[in-house]
Amino acid sequence: MTAVFNTTSSDQTEEFASRFAALLKAGDIITLDGDLGAGKTCFARGVARGMGSPSHVSSPTFTIVNEYEGGRLPVYHFDTYRLGGCEDFVMAGLDEYLWKDGVCLIEWSDIIGDIIPGSAVRIRIEGTGDVRRFVIECPGGEMYNSLTRIIEEMGL
């Protein structure tokens, strides 16, 4: 099931993401795709905040993965922009994170598309300026219902 909504500021995106974090459980994988500057890292910042992690969230472009601890669940934040594909991901041992007891957020997941499980929550962000359109494909109806509630509560 697919949830679609707009945010009108980075603060609103972060707020939505922090509420979304409450729906996540250990082992969940969230993909974040969209053009450069779409708001993927902004969303990840909100998820880490919503988990209760005090970590500073920045783009892990050079390190591929950042870990944010100290919250309800660890958050593993990937930016696969510089990888050539799944082989690079596996060669670097990064696939082990997919089975850990945390939440994986993967920017530019299309690059490693073949390795992303079908159970992943897929988030696509579109648009420029202050209005960004979010298209969230949920693996199950329960998450879709919770997302719809957050969207309504926030008036998005």
By CB under 5 A, name the binding residues for Mg ion.
40-41, 59
Cβ atoms within 10 Å of 89's Cβ, excluding its own: 22
Residues from 44 through 73 that contact ligand ATP (CB under 6 A): 59
For ligand ATP, which residue of 3, 17, 29, 42 counts as binding (CB under 6 A)?
Answer: 42
Residue 9 binding result from Mg ion, ligand ATP, none, given CB thresholds of 5 to 8 Å by partner type: ligand ATP
CB of 35 to ligand ATP, least distance (A): 7
The rounded distance, in Å, linking the Cα atoms of 125 and 122 is: 10
| Contact code string over 113-152 relative to ligand ATP, x by CB under 6 A | -----------------x-x--------------------
Q: How far is CA 17 from CA 20, 42, 89, 94, 147, in A?
A: 5, 9, 26, 24, 10
Nearer to ligand ATP, 17 or 94 (CB): 17
State how beta strands 103-107 and 29-33 pair.
Answer: parallel
State how beta strands 75-79 and 29-33 pair.
Answer: unpaired
Cβ atoms within 10 Å of 119's Cβ, excluding its own: 10
Assess 41 for contact with ligand ATP (CB under 6 A): yes
For ligand ATP, which residue of 2, 22, 26, 37 counts as binding (CB under 6 A)?
Answer: 37
Handedness of CA 42, 44, 47, 49 (dihedral sign): negative
Nearer to ligand ATP, 6 or 146 (CB): 6
Residue 38 binding result from ligand ATP, Mg ion, none, given CB thresholds of 5 to 8 Å by partner type: ligand ATP
